[in-house]
Amino acid sequence: MSRRVVLVDGGGTNIGSVRYALERLGVDAQLVTEAARIRDATHVILPGVGAAAPGMKRLRELGLVETLRTLRQPVLGVCLGMQLLFEGSTEGDVECLGVVPGRVQKMRPGDGERIPHMGWNRLRPEKASALTEGLEPDAHAYFVHSYAAPVGPWTVASSLYAGGFSAIVQKENYCGMQFHPERSAAVGARLLNNFLRL
């Protein structure tokens, strides 16, 4: 069966760069807003940059909330897209998709740390997953965010900045990457390719 990969057009400014990263892997991902096309896809990617409340507002306006909550194929949330997979966010005190337990919180910087967290940071393996197959133990990814999800049983890899947080999550068919795989060089390409193989 051929792969039908779609990018949900939730208004995120990283959609173009995610699409280009997929093109480099030989995948022509279609940008969609229609529930039927999302349900028909083999793989669904929810990119996002910005704040949780406008992100959820956009998904509600498109009538996609229930569709995204009930998908059975592999789903990947990227950056804000990952945060929207959780039950809620303190950013605007908003209810999110609720397919991954937990609540996204504002990061609390320690001495010498600045928010937003911007730059390369190590991915710390928490448990085995096909999503991180072949990843080197000292792999680094590129982050830009001020809010983060806690570490929990769904955490595949964590990262350490202003405390520990979930960098990669997976609960059943729902996966998330807090960083930008499309800006994370070979590590990001490997992770995207692993997702496409799920």
Length of the chain counted residue by residue: 198
**Cα–Cα distance measured from residue 52 to residue 41, given in angstroms and rounded to the nearest whole number:** 25
User: Hey, what amino acid is at 31?
Assistant: L
- Among this protein's residues, is 180 annotated catalytic? yes
Active site residue: 43, 145, 175, 182, which one?
A: 182
Three-state DSSP state, 145: strand
Active site residue: 43, 79, 96, 126, which one?
A: 79
- Among this protein's residues, is 79 annotated catalytic? yes
The DSSP element (H or E) to which 152 belongs, if any, is none
List, in order, residues 6 or more apart from 82 with CB less than 8 Å away: 149, 169, 176, 177, 178
- Among this protein's residues, is 140 annotated catalytic? no
* Active centre residues (catalytic): 79, 180, 182
